[in-house]
Amino acid sequence: MSETSFSALGVPAPLVAILTEQGIDSPFPIQVDTLPDTLNGRDVLGRGKTGSGKTLAFALPMVSRLGGKLAGGRRRPGRPLGLILAPTRELATQITNALTPLAEAYGLNTTTIFGGVSQGRQVSALKAGVDIVVACPGRLEDLMKQGFISLDAVEITVLDEADHMADLGFLPVVTRIMDKTPSSGQRLLFSATLDNGVDKIVRRFLHNEVMHSVDEANSHVSAMTHHVFEIDGVESKKALVEKLASGSGRRILFMRTKHQAKKLAKSLTDAGIPSVDLHGNLSQVARDRNLAAFSAGDVKVLVATDVAARGVHVDDIELVIHVDPPAEHKAYLHRSGRTARAGSAGDVVTLVLPEQRRDTDALLRKAAIKVTPQRVTAGSPAVDALVGDVAAYVKPLPRVEQPHGQSQGGRSQGANAQRKRVNRDERDSGPRDGGARAGATRGNRGHRGSDAVAPTGGARPERSGRPAASGRSQGSGNGQGRPAQGGRSGGLQVGGLVRGAGATGGARRSAPRRAQG
């Protein structure tokens, strides 16, 4: 245990016990700096990059202060006592996952509110009474307008990744939401930078705040090693991408467009490197499923657009690859921040075609990254050093035994019929009559959109595309290697694959098929 423990900072014993059970016994610098003030009720402005430990920095004081006074005794329908605003659905979900065990220690309950899914379950949770709400701004404001939630009882408000809110154009919505919280309440704001209007939020809503900055606003992690690999053309790039993706540890590959992210995930999977994609064209169910597979280590490669640059908080990502260099330096820093988190080391690789060299040089200068470009091929020693023993990790895709139909080049007629059913069901994002129905149903689908209300004055977040089912069905395989329909437990999509559970419980994997968006 470090010299400064959570107990010494004032964190109550029940919460310290929860952290100890999770193997967390040493606070990070931003927690050391902010907890004495936040636990005492002060407004705090915390400046620190993503991955610096901000979630516990605001979750611990929120639970401690609300639980110590209330322990759930004043719970009223639609009137939460704590509010946490987050820019993306993925971040909101991960905050809730970290917050829930802490809240349960005091009998507090939580719920998550975001767009892209049916509002039915969210409304039901609010009506039943909730102590802490973790929300994306658009759907929260929508539910406020419908009268399902009031913020007049909120005692603690947290605004996480405020600069990303600004990048998405959410600050007008955030301002309207914050106006509905009592001015006497405690406000905590965390942000890597104070530009694009974040400073106006600070001046308007924080009172006598204490500012804690654990690093420079645009600094990169010292444990992060940057590489720029110059390649001659598209074919050389394709071979290099496959080589870099084939290592043993988790890695994220960033693409400019949703279409290219989907295409690359399928291509890598077909090449024997199981991959999942994450972008705005996926339903919420598919996004949750793919991110869960990556987080659990079922697959080691995530191919993503910038929707994941802020929203993915997964430890032990050893390599970030900018397959497509980002458009501006802030995106480079946010993407790169997926690795070298929580004190771990990590590498960042940017792939540069001849026509991209000038723009990439300018981008790195603005990001204050000094790195000497290297001309490489897939067989270069610099590439091998980042990959390790490729042969140990790249495996050919196994053929799937099919009980019906004649084989057609490794795929049976039964598999073709099954493929059409899976494609149709995933397109609907819900189970069919023949599938398991323990979770989402036809009538429980949400509307399109990353959030219910499109922000004004800024870039629109990537939309989720197809309607998403709310909840997860607990489907299972049918005993014939056929993937479950509509749930995680019975079938897991891995890039262009679906893994199903057979009657014997052994995992099977179907032949590659077209990835579903």
Give me the CATH number covering residue 96. Answer: 3.40.50.300
Query: Is the Cβ–Cβ distance between 155 and 83 less than 8 Å?
Result: no
In the predicted model, what is the mean pLDDT of the chain?
A: 75
Residue 491 lies in a domain: no
Q: Are 271 and 157 found together in one domain?
A: no
Q: Are 56 and 170 found together in one domain?
A: yes
Does residue 496 register a pLDDT over 90?
no
Q: Residue type for 294, please?
A: F
Does residue 358 register a pLDDT over 60?
yes
Q: Residue type for 169, please?
A: G
| Phi, psi values for residue 15, rounded to 5° | -75, -35
Which residue among 374, 392, 410 closes a domain?
A: 392
In the block, residue with structure tokens 């279409």: 259
Q: How many CB atoms lie within 10 A of CB 439?
A: 20
Residue 429 lies in a domain: no
- Confidence band of 287 (pLDDT split at 50, 70, 90): confident
3-state secondary structure at position 165: helix
> Which range of residues forms the domain containing residue 228?
224-392
Residue 314 lies in a domain: yes
Residue 490 lies in a domain: no
Q: Are 122 and 189 found together in one domain?
A: yes
Residue 413 lies in a domain: no
Cα dihedral 111, 117, 123, 129, rounded to 10, equals: -10
pLDDT at res. 438: 37
- The strands making up 491-494's β-sheet, listed across from edge to edge, are 491-494, 497-501, 507-509
3-state secondary structure at position 335: helix
Between the CA of residue 247 and those of 56, 338, 388, what are the distances in Å?
A: 31, 17, 6
Q: Are 104 and 245 found together in one domain?
A: no
Query: Is the Cβ–Cβ distance between 26 and 343 less than 8 Å?
Result: no
Q: Can you tell me the distance from the alpha carbon of 47 to that of 50, in angstroms, rounded to the nearest whole number?
A: 10
3-state secondary structure at position 502: strand
Q: Are 136 and 259 found together in one domain?
A: no
Write down how long the chain is.
517
Does residue 264 register a pLDDT over 70?
yes
pLDDT at res. 281: 83
With b for 16 or more beta-carbon neighbours within 10 A and e for fewer, the 123-134 pattern comes to: bebbeebbbbbb
82-134 pLDDT, tens digit per residue, is 999 999 888 899 899 999 999 999 999 999 999 988 999 999 999 999 999 99
pLDDT at res. 203: 93
Q: Are 30 and 166 found together in one domain?
A: yes
Which residue among 213, 248, 264 closes a domain?
A: 213
Which residue among 184, 213, 242 closes a domain?
A: 213
Distance of CA 170 to the CA centre of its chain: 18
Distant-in-sequence, close-in-space partners of 121: CB < 8 Å, separation ≥ 6:
444, 470, 471
Does residue 217 register a pLDDT over 80?
no
242-259 pLDDT, tens digit per residue, is 999 998 788 999 999 999
3-state secondary structure at position 182: coil
Residue 467 lies in a domain: no
Domain tally for the chain? 2
User: Of 37-41, 311-315, 397-401, which gets the smallest average pLDDT?
Assistant: 397-401
- Confidence band of 9 (pLDDT split at 50, 70, 90): very high
Q: Are 328 and 231 found together in one domain?
A: yes
pLDDT at res. 13: 94
Residue 439 lies in a domain: no
Does residue 510 register a pLDDT over 50?
no
Q: Are 367 and 252 found together in one domain?
A: yes
Residue 460 lies in a domain: no
359-391 pLDDT, tens digit per residue, is 888 888 888 888 888 999 888 888 988 886 443
